[in-house]
């Protein structure tokens, strides 16, 4: 899953999240396959960002979750005695997991 | 060698070499103070510098602000964001032009801090998310001066961070006897930035020292911690800074608020990576 700006949208990409107005009105459902017409329509509706399946724009090779956890521990090494910091570290761990699960969808 | 003297010598050197703002930014600073200036007039002046206006428009149209529609002209940006925010944005883009030559990853860190500041500000009562996010963007401007104007000292700073495993700010104290907070506050003063930007710049590591913009300073303090914590960009050393618990308490956030902020921040930073912002 990748959040991209509308300028990078291309034919064949599939929406991983529905596109909705701030008031909740859904404009295009999850799973919609984009074509030129739909992309133009989104631009016309002033939609700036869309979330699509896979990683069509590439980006860094994904690191293993264990590597991310180890790097996180290193960043937090100086504050390991601070309970609030440790709590935040756990939240970030949880979020790494969440994003990885969503990316695998 | 007399330490005090050495400190003063460095201070003078740093002040003398304070980056000057581009002409258009100086003109705007004056115009913003004049009540009679209209958004259209100000927009016209800014548009005379296409490089700066282009960067400002890219910034306001990025996820940094997250407005639902495209902002196509500077005058619209001024109407939506206000004079002070646009002035600060112009200062930001000017400073970051210099910053790109300085510390690798500092721009990403600063932009990440701006985004985190905005997410936190949205959940805290009694603050202006637009101004607070600019404060987040500018909080480390002192480091630009350290890395460019005090280049020799900066090499020493990098060396002892590596050898002694101490934070950037501790290394600055050891080498310069002053920090990017001090230098940042001189810059903010010389550019006539409002107190809501000045205090987060001069106190983001010591939020208890803020006198007037206590909330904004506490927000930028937490934002700086979070963007380091998730590992985005670089502030000059590889660790999270100390977290001031009093600042955290001042914000009145719950742990579940914080969880949401972290999730929003990570999603935004990921989408930023696929954009070419500057």
Residues sharing a CB contact under 8 Å with residue A38, sequence separation 6 or more, in sequence order: A28, A32
Residue B33 burial by Cβ neighbours in a 10 Å radius (0-12, 13-18, 19+): exposed
Mean pLDDT computed over every residue of chain B: 85
Which residues of chain B have a CB within 8 Å of the CB of A10? Answer: none
The pLDDT of residue B81 is 80
Which domains can be identified in chain B, with CATH numbers? 2-272 (1.10.3210.10)
Averaged pLDDT, B9-27 = 68
Query: What's the rounded mean pLDDT across residues B138-163?
Result: 90
Give yes or no for residue B204 having a pLDDT over 90.
yes
Choose the weakest-confidence range: B23-27, B106-110, B180-184. B23-27
**Residue B277 banded pLDDT, cuts 50, 70, 90:** very low
Helices B106-123 and B141-148 cross at an angle (nearest 10°) of 170
Non-local (6+) Cβ contacts of B242 within 8 A are A78, A79, A82, B205
Structure confidence at residue B130 (pLDDT): 81
Closest chain B residue by Cα to residue A78: B239
Name the DSSP class of B64: T
Name chain B contacts of A2, Cβ cutoff 8 Å. 270, 274
Residue A3 is inside which H or E element, if any?
Answer: strand A2-5
Least confident of B12-16, B153-157, B238-242: B12-16
**Interface A-B: count of C-beta contacts within 8 A:** 81
Predicted confidence band at B247 (pLDDT cuts at 50, 70, 90)?
very high
Mutate to test the interface with A, among B69, B122, B231 (most CBs of A within 10 A): B231
The pLDDT score that the predictor gives to residue B231 is: 94
Residue B223: closest CA among B251, B195, B183? B251
Q: What is the pLDDT of residues A48-80, one digit of tens each?
A: 888 888 888 776 556 788 999 999 999 999 999
User: What single-letter DSSP state applies at residue A27?
Assistant: E
CB-nearest partner of B240 from A4, A60, A85: A85
- A92: nearest CB among B229, B239, B275: B229
Say what the pLDDT of residue A64 is: 83
Interface predicted TM-score of the whole assembly (ipTM), two decimals = 0.82
**Nearest C-alpha neighbor of B185 from the set B173, B196, B198:** B198
* A84: confidence class by pLDDT, cuts 50, 70, 90: very high
Residues B23-60 have pLDDT tens digits of 777 787 778 778 888 888 888 888 887 777 887 887 77
* pLDDT score of A25: 84
Q: Which pLDDT band, with edges at 50, 70 and 90, does B18 fall under?
A: low
């Amino acid at each position: 899953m990748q959040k991209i700006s509308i300028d990078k949208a291309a034919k064949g990409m599939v929406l991983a999240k529905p596109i909705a107005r701030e008031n909740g009105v859904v404009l295009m459902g999850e799973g919609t396959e984009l074509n030129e017409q739909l992309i133009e329509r989104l631009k016309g509706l002033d939609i700036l960002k869309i979330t699509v399946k896979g990683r069509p724009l590439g980006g860094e090779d994904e690191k293993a979750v264990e590597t991310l956890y180890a790097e996180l521990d290193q960043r937090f090494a100086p504050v390991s005695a601070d309970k609030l910091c440790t709590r935040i570290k756990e939240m970030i761990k949880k979020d790494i997991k969440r994003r990885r699960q969503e990316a695998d969808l | 060698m007399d330490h005090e003297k050495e400190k003063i010598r460095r201070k003078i050197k740093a002040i003398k070499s304070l980056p000057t703002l581009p002409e258009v930014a100086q003109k705007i600073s004056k115009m913003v103070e004049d009540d009679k200036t209209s958004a259209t007039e100000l927009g016209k002046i800014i548009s005379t510098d296409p490089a700066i206006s282009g960067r400002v428009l890219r910034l306001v149209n990025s996820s940094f602000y997250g407005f639902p529609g495209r902002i196509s002209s500077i005058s619209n940006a001024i109407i939506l964001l206000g004079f002070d925010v646009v002035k600060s944005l112009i200062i930001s883009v000017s400073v970051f032009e210099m910053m790109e030559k300085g510390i690798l990853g500092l721009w990403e860190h600063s932009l990440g801090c701006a985004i985190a500041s905005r997410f936190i500000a949205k959940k805290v009562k009694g603050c202006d998310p637009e101004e607070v996010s600019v404060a987040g963007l500018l909080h480390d401007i002192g480091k630009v001066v350290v890395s460019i104007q005090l280049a020799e000292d900066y090499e020493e700073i990098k060396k002892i961070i590596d050898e002694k495993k101490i934070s950037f700010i501790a290394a600055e104290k050891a080498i310069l006897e002053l920090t990017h907070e001090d230098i940042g506050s001189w810059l903010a003063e010389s550019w006539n930035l409002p107190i809501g930007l000045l205090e987060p710049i001069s106190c983001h590591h010591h939020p208890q020292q803020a006198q007037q913009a206590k909330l904004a300073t506490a927000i930028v303090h937490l934002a700086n911690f979070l963007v380091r914590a998730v590992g985005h960009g670089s502030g000059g050393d590889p660790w999270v800074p100390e977290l001031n618990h009093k600042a955290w308490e001042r914000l009145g956030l719950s742990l579940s608020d914080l969880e949401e902020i972290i999730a929003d921040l990570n999603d935004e930073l990921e989408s930023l990576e696929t954009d070419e912002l500057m």
